[in-house]
Amino acid sequence: MFTITQLHIYPVKSLAGIALQEAKTTERGFEYDRRWMLIDENNQFLTQRNIGAMALLETEIAERQLRIRHKLQPELGSLQVPLKADGYAETDVQIWDDVCRALLVSREADAWLSEAMGSNVRLAYLPDDAPRQVEPERVTMPINVSFADAYPYLLIGETSLEDLNQRLAEPVPMNRFRPNIVFSGGAANQEESWSDLLIGKTTFRGIKPCGRCILTTTDQQTGLRHEAGEPLKTLTTYRKQGNKVLFGMNLIVLEEGIVRVGDELMPLL
């Protein structure tokens, strides 16, 4: 018996996430997941891999708005961004090897975020009609993804984290791995062997295990990096395949629907 215990979205790439009781599935990921992204003056994406303090920017969706606050700078107040905005300009943005079309949300957002970050940044939004396909060599269907690294959904089992924590001097929480879907039951890392799976009435397809990076060493409460490089250092000792350190399973969804905390997860293949 596998049961969904957590659902998360991360509206702005690399900023703090939001825990949900239910979430709507879309081709690109859960609704509102990583549809916004911070970019620098060269239109390059910003990430916690380089700027751990991005974890200190908290997000909330309420009253048809995205709200952003700085955990340690309450004097900044909050930034409020409409969930559907025309933007003030269109531009091409770089995220890893992809170049895709995006909207610059507002000059107000740019100014607020630049002050919060201490450098010149802009807030970009990925519109519905802007293509960004997942890896075609692995997915033959034309599936688009948001500003997530590569795939729309990330699934991790609680048992996988428990197994890791037994190997660590100091256990880490699940938020180090920024999953979308967390479940209970089963064996450690069992999710990485699944192909199709059913959550409630919605079918997902497992594509590939997720390669992990230095972001996992960032404390999501403080934005500080672990000096000894944990948990990535320990993961490397038993979860390394080739040049990748694996933890969690990347998914696509095969249909739109609603998934909820408490839903049963059923592997189909």
pLDDT, tens digit, 9 for 90 and up, residues 36-67: 999 999 999 999 999 999 999 999 999 899 99
Peptide bond preceding 127 in cis form (omega within 30 of 0): no
Burial of 35 per CB tally in 10 Å (0-12, 13-18, 19+): buried
Tokens 């905005």, residue? 85
Q: Place 226 in a pLDDT band, splitting at 50, 70 and 90.
A: very high
Q: What is the largest CA-CA distance in the chain?
A: 52
Closest CA to 130 of 106, 104, 168, 155: 104
Tokens 């059923």, residue? 266
**For residue range 3-47, what is the model confidence (pLDDT) as tens digits?**
999 999 999 999 999 999 999 999 999 999 999 999 999 999 999
What is the model's pLDDT at position 2?
98
Q: How many Å apart are CA 17 and CA 78, to the nearest integer? A: 16
Q: What is the DSSP letter of 148?
A: S
pTM score of the predicted model: 0.97
Burial of 62 per CB tally in 10 Å (0-12, 13-18, 19+): exposed
Is residue 85 predicted with pLDDT exceeding 80? no
Is residue 84 predicted with pLDDT exceeding 90? no
What is the model's pLDDT at position 18?
98
What is the model's pLDDT at position 100?
96
What is the model's pLDDT at position 88?
96
